[in-house]
């Protein structure tokens, strides 16, 4: 069985091109060193950075692609390039690590041959 992958989103882990996910989501978070409210309830904060975290999910991958993606993220720190949710049609690049790697496998019969396909879900967390 041949699985066709698309690479239109331009996702890269280090120098490895990763296929477009079946589903993806993001979270933009503000990082503060401190914050407090005064007697009137007004917030005084010291925001130091804004980070973008992603969750990518792939459905129906073959074994080779599953292994390629898992090998690409098998590091304490790597560069991720992914779509920038804050800027239309642009990419965002940052230093990331990946959280838990969650997967599922499917095995079924197709034309008297056994076929295995794999799902994978990864959370990319920016340093």
Beta strand 23-37 with 16-17 is: unpaired
Cβ proximity of 7 and 17 under 8 Å: yes
SS3 call for 81: strand
Residue 34 lies in a domain: yes
**pLDDT level of residue 119 (50, 70, 90 thresholds):** very high
Cβ contacts of 92 within 8 Å, gap of 6 or more? 52, 81, 82, 83, 84, 85, 86
Mean pLDDT, the chain, rounded, equals 93
Residues listed for the chain? 127
Residue 2 within a domain: no
Number of structural domains, the chain?
1
Asked whether residue 37 carries a pLDDT value surpassing 80, the answer given is yes
58-110 tens-digit pLDDT: 999 999 999 999 999 999 999 999 999 999 889 999 999 999 999 999 988 76
% of the chain exceeding 70 in pLDDT: 98
Report the alpha-carbon distance of residue 93 to residue 108 in Å, rounded.
Answer: 38
Domain annotation covers residue 7 = no
Instruction: Count CB-CB contacts under 10 A for residue 83.
Output: 20
Is residue 5 in some structural domain?
no
């Amino acid at each position: 069985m041949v699985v066709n992958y698309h690479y239109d989103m331009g996702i890269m882990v280090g120098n490895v091109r990763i296929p477009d996910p079946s589903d993806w989501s993001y979270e933009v978070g503000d990082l503060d060193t401190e914050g407090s409210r005064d007697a009137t309830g007004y917030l005084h904060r010291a925001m130091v950075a804004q980070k973008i975290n992603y969750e990518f999910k792939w459905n129906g991958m073959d074994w080779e692609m599953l292994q390629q993606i898992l090998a690409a993220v098998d590091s304490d720190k790597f560069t991720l390039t992914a779509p920038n949710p804050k800027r239309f049609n642009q990419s965002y690049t940052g230093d990331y690590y990946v959280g838990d790697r969650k997967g599922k496998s499917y095995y079924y019969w197709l034309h008297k041959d056994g076929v295995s396909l794999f799902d994978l879900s990864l959370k990319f967390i920016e340093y």
